[in-house]
Amino acid sequence: MENLNEVQTQVESQLPPIVDLRNQVQLTYWSDHHFIAQTLLDQLPFGEILGSYRFYQYVDYQLPSLLEAARRNLLYWILADIRQYNGTPADQISLFYDETFLWHYSMPAFREEIITQIRQGNRVRFLSQFLLSQTQVEVEFNEIRLLTTGPIRYQFVYTDSKEYSYSFNAGLWETTIQNHEFVLINPTQYTLPITQPNTQGRESEYQAQLTRIQALPNNIHVQAHY
């Protein structure tokens, strides 16, 4: 029994820190449980504004790290015995961006720089959805565009952009372009963001998350060598 306890302790020491998704304000989730590994969450820039350089840096170089974190998270669910509400082992999860945080905290904080980049012809995106299951990984991005509301006055709208999916069976990434319209200002197809925030009384948590994102390297500006 003592040896079994020692093995269990060693296994637990190898597990990454656990994140309770109910405490995250930059994202929402759909699943019958609410735990993922911190190492996976660190690979998902929900709530951040991604300029062209940061976006392509992510999809060109960071997807392998995301995939490795996703694989480890599947193993973590098994070793930590994470279960769904019906008692069956956890095997999938879908994460989405939190509309209140993105449109009423991140966007206002970076508004002028976003507008400047789009007016210069540079695309600005955000992570909109992440799916992990036993068979695949999906990462979906939306794109921010502008509607003119008057002389040099703009309203943010958003469109579909790109989806990256990885099949564990096939062992490769596939890219799907979900919107081929290039017009960045006054697009013909778009979705309006929410107009009323819903912080559910967690304004301080939303502000703390914004402060954390503002402290990150500039993800919107296009570097000179881009």
In a domain, 7, yes or no: no
Q: What is the pTM of this model?
A: 0.90
Nearest partner of 176 among 185, 189, 167, judged by Cα: 167
In a domain, 12, yes or no: no
In a domain, 225, yes or no: no
pLDDT digits (tens, 9 = 90+) for 44-93: 999 999 999 999 999 999 999 999 999 999 999 998 899 988 889 999 99
- The residue written with tokens 């697009």 in the block is 187
Domain count of the chain? Answer: 1
- The residue written with tokens 């695309």 in the block is 123
φ, ψ dihedrals at 205, nearest 5°:
-70, -40
CB 42 within 8 A of CB 61: no
In a domain, 38, yes or no: yes
- Nearest-angstrom CA–CA distance, 69 and 110: 29
Contacts of 147 (CB under 8 A, 6+ apart): 154, 155, 156, 157, 185, 186, 190
CB 107 within 8 A of CB 101: no
10 pLDDT exceeds 80? no
pLDDT digits (tens, 9 = 90+) for 148-201: 998 879 999 999 999 999 999 999 999 999 999 999 999 999 999 999 999 999
Q: Which domain holds residue 59?
A: 17-214
